[in-house]
Amino acid sequence: MIARFLEIRQKTEAICSPLCIEDYSVQPSEFASPPKWHLAHTTWFWEEFVLTKYDSDYVVYHPDFSYLFNSYYNTVGKRVLRPTRGLMTRPPVEEVYAYRTHVSKAMELFLKNDLSKEVLDIIEIGLNHEQQHQELLVYDIKYLLGMQPTFPIYGNDFMTTAEKQETGFVSIKEGIYEIGHQGESFCFDNELGRHKVYITDFEISKTLVTNGDYLEFINQGGYQNFNYWHDEGWGWVNENKIEAPLYWHKIENDWYQYTLNGFEKVNPDFPVMHLSYYEAFAYAEWKAMRLPTEFEWEVASTQLQWGKVWEWTNSAYLAYPNFNKAAGALGEYNGKFMVNQMVLRGASIATPENHSRKTYRNFFQANMRWHFSGLRLVK
Amino acid sequence: MIARFLEIRQKTEAICSPLCIEDYSVQPSEFASPPKWHLAHTTWFWEEFVLTKYDSDYVVYHPDFSYLFNSYYNTVGKRVLRPTRGLMTRPPVEEVYAYRTHVSKAMELFLKNDLSKEVLDIIEIGLNHEQQHQELLVYDIKYLLGMQPTFPIYGNDFMTTAEKQETGFVSIKEGIYEIGHQGESFCFDNELGRHKVYITDFEISKTLVTNGDYLEFINQGGYQNFNYWHDEGWGWVNENKIEAPLYWHKIENDWYQYTLNGFEKVNPDFPVMHLSYYEAFAYAEWKAMRLPTEFEWEVASTQLQWGKVWEWTNSAYLAYPNFNKAAGALGEYNGKFMVNQMVLRGASIATPENHSRKTYRNFFQANMRWHFSGLRLVK
Amino acid sequence: MIARFLEIRQKTEAICSPLCIEDYSVQPSEFASPPKWHLAHTTWFWEEFVLTKYDSDYVVYHPDFSYLFNSYYNTVGKRVLRPTRGLMTRPPVEEVYAYRTHVSKAMELFLKNDLSKEVLDIIEIGLNHEQQHQELLVYDIKYLLGMQPTFPIYGNDFMTTAEKQETGFVSIKEGIYEIGHQGESFCFDNELGRHKVYITDFEISKTLVTNGDYLEFINQGGYQNFNYWHDEGWGWVNENKIEAPLYWHKIENDWYQYTLNGFEKVNPDFPVMHLSYYEAFAYAEWKAMRLPTEFEWEVASTQLQWGKVWEWTNSAYLAYPNFNKAAGALGEYNGKFMVNQMVLRGASIATPENHSRKTYRNFFQANMRWHFSGLRLVK
Amino acid sequence: MIARFLEIRQKTEAICSPLCIEDYSVQPSEFASPPKWHLAHTTWFWEEFVLTKYDSDYVVYHPDFSYLFNSYYNTVGKRVLRPTRGLMTRPPVEEVYAYRTHVSKAMELFLKNDLSKEVLDIIEIGLNHEQQHQELLVYDIKYLLGMQPTFPIYGNDFMTTAEKQETGFVSIKEGIYEIGHQGESFCFDNELGRHKVYITDFEISKTLVTNGDYLEFINQGGYQNFNYWHDEGWGWVNENKIEAPLYWHKIENDWYQYTLNGFEKVNPDFPVMHLSYYEAFAYAEWKAMRLPTEFEWEVASTQLQWGKVWEWTNSAYLAYPNFNKAAGALGEYNGKFMVNQMVLRGASIATPENHSRKTYRNFFQANMRWHFSGLRLVK
């Protein structure tokens, strides 16, 4: 447990290692937090939910930090408003690292104790919480660097690979299937309430939609034809003058994209990435197919190769029939976001190892696309 | 058919009869259209989709009207933007009534012909379309009058009644159920694709939540406690300083509401009305129960009394498994709204007779509440 | 006095006579009030500042109207917010005319009394106030009709005429001049505080800039060259995609404009109208000349032909050295607008007779152009 | 000249020396630029207007910087939009300092040449330009630090001092006075066009309004009484819930303020600072006095002690009668801001030595107050 804790803590810092100090504090959009904030907030979680509650020897690092680095837990108290996270130049990065060290050391000692089930459960959530922020860190760093006029290089990590050539569809038979997490291993509360669903015959593609596929949609006027779009999506396209996935730039007649490894020509063999739900849906309409529901995806998942990009499904993010939210602050983790978001299934190349499973329910608003999102078709 | 056509046309005008000319043109919000616009748009539908297509004798009333009174059909061409509907003082009301008469007469003649199945289907949609606008007219008129500083009286129609005293829950057994429209009678495309769903045991209340029930939620601080709310709903409450259903006003220590029959004290026995989805959800959380899914509602509906208020469900508005949208402009009727909306089931006191059925899928965005919306609990 | 009172009251109604009922209530922009509101507000002025104060026999027409038709007098109490004036469909137009009759009759009787200087002064302000609203009515009616997709015709009043052919400049000699109103006749408080200013030699054009002149500016890329514009004006041009004066439309290669007499080809001999201060300034820059100050204008005015369009000056609207604002509500008439507005001098074809004089200080914000505004050059 | 150049360059860096790296890149508001941007932009000025134009040996430091660090010179080409200056984390601070060194060295060499009058004039502007940014740097740093929840200390520089006790007014006699810069020394183009103005008798206070004076205005309800405010100012107060000068915080019953030296109790003897024009005007109204015009101020200035805070005048920022803007990019320096801004006269404790004179025309929009602004009364 201690080794796992330290490894995860170290991984968070490793993700930030290619940054210069200036990169840590800036917030390029309301939805993207500054890297410094992630470093501090994941630390705050351990201090707030474990150390100050269960470790009587623990000395709080700084009394202001409980307020400064709360994300959205109303239960815990007031907090810095999300859009102003990027204004906090103080504490400086160096002090945030000292805070991390202080808390990690305290946790290391604390973990040597004989801990109750209650505490162990919270620690498990804390580890998964930090892993979720590792993935968000990658999104936010890419967004920050991709907004720089100079397109700086982050490095060769988190780069996707070509989709396999073998194509075709997996067929699933009509019937009753069980959905949701099973067994003793960790999962989030939104995966529980295992229950039966009735599923009709469907076929699901073995491969993800690629950049090459998506270029056809662009070239055939997909962004100019309202027939493929939701009314709301069509408004979004026109208001924001969207013409391609996020990070794509047309230079003369070629498409380029910003990647973490710099500015590159779009590779047609790679899975398409950085699509909004609106775009994924419109692409499927254009193909005269559709997106899978999250239930179809889960049922078929054992026969699919997945894990390069999060896959938009046609399911809204809603509670499973017997959903029980946790008591206290951790009850704010998932349930309160169950409106106006769509579910994504799978995992991405930015997802930490050991942090993916077929029942995992990721979710974003329909217009978001700075996360590593793509799609797979169903017919 | 002719009698039914004329009756529905007449009903639209009857709804407007208590208005003064000034009321017809004003648009008090982006979501509420001016009554004159409804009168014209329902007429435009007949002209655009029936007469100019299938009646070679038909003479268009005015060449500009195709543009002026299109609602959202991109297929048909350009249109007046929704927020500016209320700026059109011309054509005046009198001319819009003349337009109605012109089109109704042409339709009356046209309906005497032997019509193909294709045409009859469109006419059926037209009749249902006009009935939908009748209900919207009631919402929009109430909103316009309810925004007047003087709270004018519309009349005694469309007033709700007390909920029956007998309470209790209906129990539904776990199993496979069929969902969606069946048979030859009319339904919208979004009700088709009848399919099986697996439903777990549940109990659903025989009665709607009443004003009296809801007052308890208010009095016990329901609007001040974030625990009951979606994150997005909590933002909505605070930004808009929401403290009660729409049209409710607290005067000294009593709650009053604007009704179409004037300003009245809130009657605790009536079903609560004019709630957003956020509020309906929060109320259920506070009660430690939940909203039904639209599937649960449909299954239980034969054992419930319904029809006073539309009932928010916990289902997002999405396509049924085999949803096929119609070709051409009528394909824009339903499918393109299937994102970020929640389903309501049932009907309201403003729903025209013969325009309700247990498979009907109504839908609105989660923050809307000028329609006649309430809720029923499930445990 | 009674005759003058009745004539002015009648003139207000005459301006509205070409309207249909629907035109009276709609507010096409925050800056343009509905005609019904002008009719009621000018009546409210007499009721609020004369009858309820000085006529003990007066019976208030309706207790709500004091609130409903206050424009911006904080002293008088709460009021309907400006952007929502257009939502008030009630009281209907007919009742507003009844209100006018009620108040006019009461005034007619009241004016037969022997009135004090104090009362007579307020009556004089009331007459001028109503005349100011007559001019605003013309602007607001034009704006409402000009926003209709159908460009309806109002009539042949308030149409401008060709600028005289004889051109040239008037020379004014350097020296001390007196500025501000003199004598016993009526003026607004902002014209008082007659005082000396020192003026340097200048030459001012005898004629207004014409549509023909302005077309040259357009054709030579005036709207595309930042050098002629204030930084703020350049932002305004680009955000609003301004390419010509208000009401101008380019159809194929010709310029047309909406006038109160309908849609017409732009006449190059007429004075250019409906310019913002930004545009007037940019035009002068392009011509390598400048706008006059309001002091230069006043000094030269006796040698100029003026009265077709209000002329933008290069003077900010500020208090004269000894400005004294009136006590009470009427003190809110002018002084509180003395920031971020520019002065216009002269009068327009929409200005009521007997309501112009060379010391009159009109003022608008730099981006406004729905009033009848043009310019004259100085070198 | 070389010594002066180096001293000014060094001063800019000295102002930044108390900052941590994180402080350099963040932009807390559209009107406040990041310190890094000031460091780079003042360097860009030398490169763009001197070295690349007149020094044939000069090697541009980095080809992107011409674009990245242009402020508002349309003549020079495209530029990073003002609100996104704070997103540029790259180039990092260290590289910006290297850029400064590169350019300063090149300038040092270049200044050893025998330079033409034309070049010397531009260098003089460059020195004054950099001094202006030194003052803006102090404002922007204070704003950034003052927005931190932790109120960090910058240091003891730029702190104001108590206003002298001796009070009273200076009387100025009516007559013709000359306004504007005279002689060979440097001034900005907006000070030229020396010209006569006629001034009426007035008396101007020898002392600035103090915090103590202003507290009385607050305590007597100055922020709650519309009578003292412009209509626009009253809207500003209510929309932004303004209750005191910027940086003031009420804790229990005492007023505190953020200063560059930390959080301190408001000292009643210090001149009041960080007022908008609206507030300065309202204070004067409440005192039944007024602000001076910029002409009155200039005439009286030799008899006043000034230099602690910029003093709002009642003059709009407009061109002097014979204003000539410079050709080319430097013509964009002043003239294009001459609309909707008010003039401030004097200087502040953040104004660099040798950068103040009685004819200096500073200007800001009426709602701005992060600069060091106060007021002096006239009667």
With cut-offs at 50, 70 and 90, classify the pLDDT of residue D78.
Answer: low
| D–B touching, 3+ CB–CB pairs within 8 Å | no
B69 contacts B44 by C-beta, under 8 angstroms: yes
Q: How far apart are the CA of B132 and the nearest CA of chain C, in angstroms?
A: 25
Choose from B22, B67, B69, B79 for mutation: most chain C CBs within 10 A.
Answer: B22
**Residue B242 DSSP SS3:** coil
D173 touches chain C (CB under 8 A): no
Q: Which residue among C23, C89, C152 sits closest to B23, beta carbon to beta carbon?
A: C89
pLDDT per residue as tens digits for the range D147-168: 998 899 999 999 999 988 778 9
The sign one gets for the Cα dihedral D282, D288, D293, D294 is negative
Residue in this structure with the two tokens 């300092």, named with its chain if needed = D97
Q: Which residues of C touch D289 (CB under 8 A)?
A: none
At A53, which amino acid appears? Answer: K
pLDDT value, residue A325: 78
Dihedral class, residue C356 (left if φ above 0, else alpha if ψ from -120 to 50, else beta): beta
Residue B337: Cβ within 10 Å count: 18
pLDDT per residue as tens digits for the range C35-81: 999 999 999 999 999 999 999 999 999 998 988 888 777 777 666 66
At A129, which amino acid appears? Answer: H
Choose from D71, D81, D229, D339 for mutation: most chain C CBs within 10 A.
Answer: D339
Radius of gyration in angstroms for the set of CA atoms belonging to chain B, rounded to a whole number: 21
What whole-number distance in Å separates Cα of residue B341 and Cα of residue A320?
A: 18
State if pTM tops 0.90: yes
Q: How far apart are the CA of B39 and the nearest CA of chain C, in angstroms?
A: 15
**Residue B26 DSSP SS3:** coil
D344 contacts D364 by C-beta, under 8 angstroms: yes
B231 touches chain A (CB under 8 A): yes
Chain-chain contact of D88 with A24 (C-beta, under 8 angstroms): no
Three-state SS string over chain A comes to CHHHHHHHHHHHHHHHCCCCHHHHCCCCECCECCHHHHHHHHHHHHHHHHHHHHCCCCCCCCCCHHHHCCCCCHHHCCCCCHHHHHHCCCCCHHHHHHHHHHHHHHHHHHCCCCCCHHHHHHHHHHHHHHHHHHHHHHHHHHHHHHHCCCCCCCCCCCCCCCCCCCCCEEEECCEEEEECCCCCCCCCHHHCCCEEEEECCEEEECCCCEHHHHHHHHHCCHHHCHHHCCHHHHHHHHHCCCCCCCCEEEECCEEEEEECCEEEECCCCCECCCCCHHHHHHHHHHCCCECCCHHHHHHHHHHCCCCCCEEEEEEECCCCCCCCCCCCHHHHCCHHHCCCCEEEEECCCCCCCCCCCCCCCEEECCCCCCCCEECCCEC
Chain-chain contact of C321 with D233 (C-beta, under 8 angstroms): no
Q: Which residue of B has its CA nearest to A329?
A: B227
Q: Which residue of D has its CA nearest to A79?
A: D149
CA neighbor of D73 nearest in space, from D101, D43, D48, D91: D48
Indicate the pairing of strand B310-316 with strand B373-374.
parallel
CA neighbor of D346 nearest in space, from D358, D336, D338: D358
Q: How close are the terminal C-alpha atoms of chain C, in Å?
A: 45
Three-state SS string over A149-169 comes to CCCCCCCCCCCCCCCCCCCCE
Q: Say if residue A292 is preceded by a cis peptide, omega within 30 of 0.
A: no
Tokens coding B84? 């500016």
The shares of helix, strand and coil residues in chain A, as percent rounded to the nearest 5, are 40, 15, 45
pLDDT value, residue D86: 85
D241 contacts D235 by C-beta, under 8 angstroms: no
What whole-number distance in Å separates Cα of residue D190 and Cα of residue D319?
A: 7
B328 contacts B75 by C-beta, under 8 angstroms: yes
CA neighbor of D353 nearest in space, from D7, D43, D1: D7
Indicate the pairing of strand A175-179 with strand A195-199.
antiparallel
At A96, which amino acid appears? Answer: V
A340 touches chain B (CB under 8 A): yes
What whole-number distance in Å separates Cα of residue D295 and Cα of residue D299?
A: 6
C326 touches chain B (CB under 8 A): no
What whole-number distance in Å separates Cα of residue D47 and Cα of residue D73?
A: 14
The stretches in chain C having pLDDT less than 50 are none
pLDDT per residue as tens digits for the range D164-219: 877 899 999 999 999 999 999 999 999 998 999 999 999 999 999 999 999 999 99
Say what percent of chain D tops pLDDT 90.
85
With cut-offs at 50, 70 and 90, classify the pLDDT of residue B72.
Answer: confident
pLDDT value, residue D82: 72
Q: How far apart are the CA of B260 and the nearest CA of chain A, in angstroms?
A: 32
pLDDT value, residue A80: 67
Q: What's the farthest any 2 CA atoms get from each other in chain A?
A: 65
B contact residues 63-122, partner C, Cβ 8 Å cutoff:
64, 67-68, 80, 84, 86-93
Q: Which residues of D touch A39 (CB under 8 A)?
A: none
Chain-chain contact of D198 with C198 (C-beta, under 8 angstroms): yes
Tokens coding D240? 């932004």
Tokens coding C182? 């003199």
Chain-chain contact of C366 with D176 (C-beta, under 8 angstroms): no
A370 contacts A284 by C-beta, under 8 angstroms: no
Residue D32 has pLDDT above 80, yes or no: yes
Burial C163-178 (b: 16+ CB within 10 A, else e): beeeeebeebeeeebe
Residue A40 has pLDDT above 80, yes or no: yes
pLDDT value, residue D333: 75
D146 contacts D183 by C-beta, under 8 angstroms: no
Q: Which residues of B touch A290 (CB under 8 A)?
A: 319
pLDDT value, residue D165: 74
B20 φ, ψ (degrees, to nearest 5): -90, 160
Determine which of A73-87, A184-198, B168-182, D115-129 has the lowest per-residue pLDDT on average. Answer: A73-87
At A95, which amino acid appears? Answer: E
What whole-number distance in Å separates Cα of residue A153 and Cα of residue A290?
A: 36
pLDDT value, residue B221: 98
Tokens coding C17? 């006579």
What whole-number distance in Å separates Cα of residue A23 and Cα of residue A287?
A: 41
Chain-chain contact of C339 with D72 (C-beta, under 8 angstroms): no
Question: How far from D211 is each of B48, B61, D154, D214, D244, CA to CA, in Å?
Answer: 71, 72, 22, 5, 11
Tokens coding B293? 């899914």
What whole-number distance in Å separates Cα of residue B361 and Cα of residue D136?
A: 60
Chain-chain contact of B278 with A339 (C-beta, under 8 angstroms): yes
Instruction: Report the run of H or E that residue C41 belongs to, with start and end.
Output: helix C35-46
Residue B230 has pLDDT above 90, yes or no: yes
Q: How far apart are the CA of A188 and the nearest CA of chain D, in angstroms?
A: 33
Burial A76-88 (b: 16+ CB within 10 A, else e): beebbeeeebbbb
Residue A319 has pLDDT above 70, yes or no: yes
Average pLDDT over residues D82-95: 88
Indicate the pairing of strand C175-179 with strand C195-199.
antiparallel
Q: Which residue among D80, D89, D93 sits closest to A26, beta carbon to beta carbon?
A: D89
Q: Which residue of B has its CA nearest to A201?
A: B321
Chain-chain contact of B149 with C68 (C-beta, under 8 angstroms): yes
Q: For the residues of D272-325, what is the DSSP string, one character each?
A: P-S--HHHHHHHHHHTT-BPPPHHHHHHHGGGS---SSEEEEEEE----TT--P
Indicate the average pLDDT of chain D: 94
Dihedral class, residue C77 (left if φ above 0, else alpha if ψ from -120 to 50, else beta): left
pLDDT value, residue B295: 98
In a 10 Å sphere around its CB, with 0-12 CB exposed, 13-18 middle and 19+ buried, how is residue D69 labelled? buried
B201 touches chain A (CB under 8 A): no
What whole-number distance in Å separates Cα of residue A56 and Cα of residue D327?
A: 72
Question: How far from B374 is each of B210, B245, B275, B344, D114, CA to CA, in Å?
Answer: 9, 10, 6, 9, 85
Any bridge partners for residue D374, and if so which?
Answer: D311
Q: Which residues of A touch B284 (CB under 8 A)?
A: none
B337 touches chain A (CB under 8 A): yes
pLDDT per residue as tens digits for the range C306-315: 999 999 999 9
Indicate the average pLDDT of chain A: 94
A357 touches chain B (CB under 8 A): no
Residue in this structure with the two tokens 């939910």, named with its chain if needed = A49
What whole-number distance in Å separates Cα of residue C22 and Cα of residue B107?
A: 28
pLDDT value, residue B80: 67
Chains in touch with C (3+ beta-carbon pairs under 8 Å) read B, D
